[in-house]
Structure 1
Amino acid sequence: MPPATSLGRLAPVAFVLLWSSGWVAAEFGAMVSGPLTFLVIRYAVAGVFFVAIAVLSGARWPSRRSELGHTLLSGVLLHGGYLGAVWWAIGQGVPAGISGIIAGLQPLLTALVAPYVLGERLSRLQRIGLVLGFLGVALAVLPKLLHAGSGGIPWFPVLVNVLGMVSVTSGTIYQKRYLQKIDIRVAATLQYLAALVVTVPFAFLLETFHVELGWQFLAVLAWSVLGTSVAAILLLLYLLSHGQVSRVASLVYLVPPLAALQAFVFLGEALTALTIAGTAIVVAGVYLANYKGKQPAAAPPPPAQ
């Protein structure tokens, strides 16, 4: 039974709030650093934290080469490909709220490819959810994509953002298939280190490693590492140990509207009627696409931003 303590009740909500704040952090980070440069620093700092957590807590490290390889590859997909694409796209002009809506399609795409990769069958209700989800994104994104002038957003960064969502979907399915038994503390350590290795070359090619050192950079770095990387993972560990992962999975449906709302509050991004309607349709579509029986399927939550 889940604990009746305040922490037990608040932990799932705190996890989702931390994760949904990642898009706002990405836009603030792009103001003081190249997005990939920022991620290189973030991965390095987060990797050090998780090495310390894993060693001090006595976590079991992979004993087989195949297990190590699977963990590293999942890190490339879940963090290197996903966060690299999302942060770069936001740095190139994709609004944080729109990026959050696109990334919110991850459970939808997982449901779409599951029949081919995991042998799962989709019900009619789930197919309706898939259609609704993609229509919702089109409603929220296409008007701004097609709008000429200062109100529009560039199409290529949007495409990169979509590829990032494909990357995290692939990583989620890969992890579900090959990394069921690995300690999440060790997995997080190795995944951040793998993401660091693959992100450094792209940062060298696409950016100048410019960083405006100051309170804003340090604040965003502290939030990205301690808040979304470390605290979210520790909350997830707590939830897993108390059997509450299904509660987190159900709250993940709130991530797109939460990301859009936080972008409105902290960045002043407009919440148009089309954005609100599209977000609501995406949430409904994702819910239906993951609906199995009387309750939504309790899929593992995606990695923290």
Structure 2
Amino acid sequence: MSKSFVYISLVLIMLIWGLNVTAIKILVEHFSPVTLTSFRIFTAGIVVILILLFMGELRKLTWKEATYIGIAALFSVVAHHLFLALGLTKTTASNAGLILGLIPLVTSVLAVIFLGNRFTVFRFVGIFLGFIGVVFVVLNGKSGIHHVSIGDVYVFLAVLSQAISFIMIKKATIDARVMTGWMLLFGALLLFFISLWMEPNGLSSLAHGTPSLWMIFLASAVFATALGHMFYNKAIQHIGAVESAIFINLNPLFSLLGAYVFLGESISLTQMMGFILIVIGVVLGSGVLDDIGALMHRSKVMGKKC
């Protein structure tokens, strides 16, 4: 798998994930969010398992692998999707999309802590700017921290959970596609039991779906959750957690556009300023400029040797 193919795939995934924020926003307004999320992820898991069966790549797991997948599923599937679904019932799709753009930054910080990546001046500045960007987004022009929505807090917890899962996937020795399928199924089952406790009438809410809502449900489950996570997790193992996460800075842009076109949400100047700060923070915090500087230094050294 060439890097150019991986990069093109990641851009397409970001487009799908950005629009998926709008899709989930629509779905959670009509169904009980946790119940819906468990069924959406279970559907995605079945799709991935069927693809792996067709490709002949599905195999039995060792006890150690199953334990690792279970722990990763708690962060990648249960915590991330639970907090995202709950967050979207309390905040706008555009705000959620912008906050989700922090995933590369948080992943970069965790990579420094758990993977031994270098913590440079650029990364420190990036983390600071990214934080300021989020403050712009969640306050959205209002004064005082009391205006921060609980939905924005939930979405940030979804960001943290996803970043932790990316670090775990990078460290895993299991094929990312196999890991994705079992993570989705295991996580969906846990979410379903959580939904029975949190939403006693959740199953009955599914009876009120229209054909158009179920089309959105299937598109979200198959393209965004199943194929999206399958390819993204493979990219993590191929080019690294931090480099893959850099592409998520495209997610807020597509989320904003999706919320504007399909939900009629306005895009404020404050949100755009927050978006710009988050993107700058992502570029700096993810270590892109450090990598460019190192490459230029090596080129100079090689030039002198020649």
Q: TM-score, normalised by structure 2?
A: 0.83
Pairwise CA distance, 1:94? 0.7
Q: Aligned match of 1:257 in 248, 253, 270?
A: 253
Contact preservation (8 Å) 2:11, 2:250 = no
Distance 2:17 2:275 in 1: 17
Distance 1:158 1:128 in 2: 23
Please state if 1:126 is matched with 2:123: yes
Partner of 1:205: 197
Distance 1:243 1:78 in 2: 19
Deviates more, 1:77-86 or 1:231-240: 231-240
How large is the RMSD of aligned CA atoms in angstroms? 3.1
Partner of 1:170: 164
Contact preservation (8 Å) 2:103, 2:245 = no
Aligned ranges 1:148-159 → 2 under 5 Å: 155-159=149-153
Partner of 1:88: 86
Cα shift readout 1:158-185 (whole Å, capped 9, x = no counterpart): 22222111111211112222x1x32222
Contact preservation (8 Å) 2:110, 2:163 = no
Q: How many residues align?
A: 289
SS in 2 for 1:55: helix
Cα shift readout 1:42-91 (whole Å, capped 9, x = no counterpart): 12212221221122211143542111111121112111110111111112
Relative distance call for 1:142 and 1:89 in structure 2 (3 A) is: same
State the structure with more CA Rg.
2
Partner of 2:302: none
Partner of 1:268: 264
Please state if 1:228 is matched with 2:224: yes
Pairwise CA distance, 1:157? 2.5
Distance 1:119 1:13 in 2: 27
Please state if 1:109 is matched with 2:109: no
Relative distance call for 1:253 and 1:246 in structure 2 (3 A) is: same
Contact preservation (8 Å) 2:139, 2:148 = no
Relative distance call for 1:121 and 1:82 in structure 2 (3 A) is: same
Relative distance call for 1:231 and 1:153 in structure 2 (3 A) is: farther
Partner of 1:47: 45
Distance 2:73 2:102 in 1: 20
Which of the pair is proportionally richer in helix? 2
Distance 2:246 2:10 in 1: 9
Distance 2:81 2:228 in 1: 15
Structure 1 counterpart of 2:182, one-letter code: L
Q: Any stretches of 5+ residues in structure 1 without a counterpart?
A: 297-305
Distance 1:220 1:51 in 2: 21
Relative distance call for 1:171 and 1:240 in structure 2 (3 A) is: closer
Structure 1 counterpart of 2:179, one-letter code: A
Structure 1 counterpart of 2:281, one-letter code: G
